[in-house]
């Protein structure tokens, strides 16, 4: 059975909320998810709580098994992030480049990395790719180990007020 969790990231990928705002957000989220009771900083999958993470550089925040489609930012061509579809798009060469670029992204962050897209020949920034699930790019993420689908609109707005940024919700499964 898949394990589901919710990830909340700022709409602006470089934005990291202040420590004070994060503390207030934690208090608020424990009201929304009272069963989480105490602040757990253990890393998923042992985490039974709510985890706040900051990164030194922009990371791809994956939706896990829900990751499926990506879109070329230049021509909007949709493609699956699986070997078969990557090879359909641009042959083995593109598949190799795609993997190499993502490995670099995991090591040193996504900002500034580019890809030449075989669909339209345009060189695009990795951070301009969009996803259907959605995965997203961020330097800050709140991970909530919960079955609850998503924050309600009211809850999201309240959290946005506290953190001082727009919030995107990523439902992830592993």
Interface with Zn ion by CB under 5 A: which residues? 72, 74-75, 77, 117, 119-120
Q: In whole angstroms, how close is the CB of 106 to Zn ion at the nearest point?
A: 23
Angstrom distance (rounded) from CA 174 to CA 157: 28
Q: Identify any residues that bridge with 125 across adjacent strands, giving them in sequence order.
A: 114
- Stated length of the chain: 174
Q: In whole angstroms, how close is the CB of 150 to Zn ion at the nearest point?
A: 30
Angstrom distance (rounded) from CA 126 to CA 128: 5
- Nearest CB to Zn ion, comparing residues 28 and 71: 71
Six token digits for residue 24? 């207030």
Decide: 13 and 109 in contact? Cβ < 8 Å.
no
- Nearest CB to Zn ion, comparing residues 72 and 86: 72
Instruction: Determine the distance from the C-alpha atom of residue 15 to the mean position of all C-alpha atoms in its chain, rounded to a whole number.
Output: 13
Q: In whole angstroms, how close is the CB of 122 to Zn ion at the nearest point?
A: 6
- Nearest CB to Zn ion, comparing residues 117 and 165: 117
- Nearest CB to Zn ion, comparing residues 39 and 124: 124
Decide: 141 and 117 in contact? Cβ < 8 Å.
no
Q: In whole angstroms, how close is the CB of 125 to Zn ion at the nearest point?
A: 13
Q: In whole angstroms, how close is the CB of 82 to Zn ion at the nearest point?
A: 18
Angstrom distance (rounded) from CA 37 to CA 42: 14
- Nearest CB to Zn ion, comparing residues 75 and 174: 75
């Amino acid at each position: 059975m898949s394990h589901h969790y919710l990830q909340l990231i700022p709409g602006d990928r470089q934005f990291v909320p202040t420590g004070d705002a994060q503390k207030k957000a934690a208090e608020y989220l424990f009201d929304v998810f009272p069963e989480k009771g105490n602040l757990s900083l253990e890393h998923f999958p042992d985490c039974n709580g709510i985890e706040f993470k900051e990164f030194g550089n922009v990371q791809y925040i994956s939706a896990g098994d829900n990751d499926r489609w990506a879109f070329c930012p230049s021509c909007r061509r949709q493609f699956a992030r699986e070997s078969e579809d990557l090879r359909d798009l641009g042959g083995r060469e593109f598949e190799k480049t795609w993997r190499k670029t993502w490995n670099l992204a995991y090591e040193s962050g996504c900002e500034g990395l580019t890809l030449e897209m075989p669909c339209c020949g345009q060189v695009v920034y990795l951070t301009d790719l969009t996803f259907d699930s959605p995965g997203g790019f961020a330097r800050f993420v709140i991970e909530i180990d919960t079955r609850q689908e998503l924050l309600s609109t009211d809850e999201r707005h309240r959290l946005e007020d506290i953190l001082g940024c727009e919030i995107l919700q990523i439902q992830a499964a592993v």
